[in-house]
């Protein structure tokens, strides 16, 4: 397993073009839709239109406030916890079958394999429904 060779970047200070959270509707710092139309109809505040108020627009040169990560908000509320790196070698479920209760690395690998299998099955079955074609999805990104 490769170890991280670079220092972590503090992304709370970065300029955001788009920030959307499925966990919080009113996320601290606000949701930034960016150049998209997919969330607009759900997040527009139509009371502003009824009251005749126009929101002030921000420009790209304006100062952006720090945007804390949603996970850190959940951790402060006691709903999630940060995992510490113990330095131990991660389990490899391709070489050793998991033994329950299993380690965090083993759980994450099993979740990833299940997700990958679902995506592959979905990609394989979608075109298959329109005839006797059996395409092979070589890569899904």
CB 73 within 8 A of CB 67: no
Residue 133 and residue 125: Cα distance in Å, rounded? 10
Question: Does residue 74 belong to any structural domain of this protein?
Answer: yes
Note whether 55 and 69 are same-domain residues. Answer: yes
- In terms of domains, do 21 and 46 share one? yes
Domain identity same for 78 and 92 = no
Asked if the structure places residue 1 within a domain, the reply is no
Total domains in the fold of the chain: 2
Closest C-alpha to 32, from 48, 8, 14: 14
Choosing from 31, 56, 82, the residue where a domain stops is: 82
Task: Categorize the per-residue pLDDT at 140 as very low, low, confident or very high, splitting at 50, 70 and 90.
Answer: very low
Q: What is the pLDDT of residues 78-137, one digit of tens each?
A: 888 887 878 888 899 999 988 899 988 899 898 888 777 777 776 666 555 555 655 554
For residue 66, give its domain range: 8-82
28 and 48 part of one domain = yes
Average pLDDT over residues 52-62: 63
| CA 72 remoteness from chain centre | 14
Predicted confidence at residue 124, as pLDDT, reads 65
Q: What is the DSSP string of 89-110?
A: PPP-TTTS---SSPPHHHHHHH
Are residues 74 and 124 both part of a single domain? Answer: no
In the chain the first and final C-alpha atoms are separated, in Å, by 22
Residue 30: inside a domain: yes
Q: Are residues 12 and 55 in the same domain?
A: yes
* Long-range pairs for 43-46: beta carbons < 8 A, 24 or more residues apart: none
Reported as a single tens digit per residue, the pLDDT across 11-23 is 777 777 777 777 7
């Amino acid at each position: 397993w490769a170890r991280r060779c670079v220092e972590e970047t503090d992304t709370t200070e970065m300029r955001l073009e788009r920030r959307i959270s499925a966990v919080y509707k009113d996320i601290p710092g606000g949701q930034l839709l960016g150049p998209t139309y997919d969330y607009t109809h759900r997040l527009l505040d139509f009371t502003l239109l009824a009251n005749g108020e126009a929101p002030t627009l921000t420009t790209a040169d304006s100062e952006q406030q720090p945007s804390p990560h949603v996970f850190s908000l959940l951790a402060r509320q006691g709903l999630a916890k940060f995992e510490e790196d113990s330095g131990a070698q991660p389990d490899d479920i391709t070489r050793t079958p998991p033994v329950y209760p299993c380690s965090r690395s083993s759980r994450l690998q099993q979740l990833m394999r299940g997700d990958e299998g679902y995506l592959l099955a979905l990609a394989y079955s979608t075109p298959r429904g329109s005839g006797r074609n059996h395409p092979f999805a070589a890569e899904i990104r």
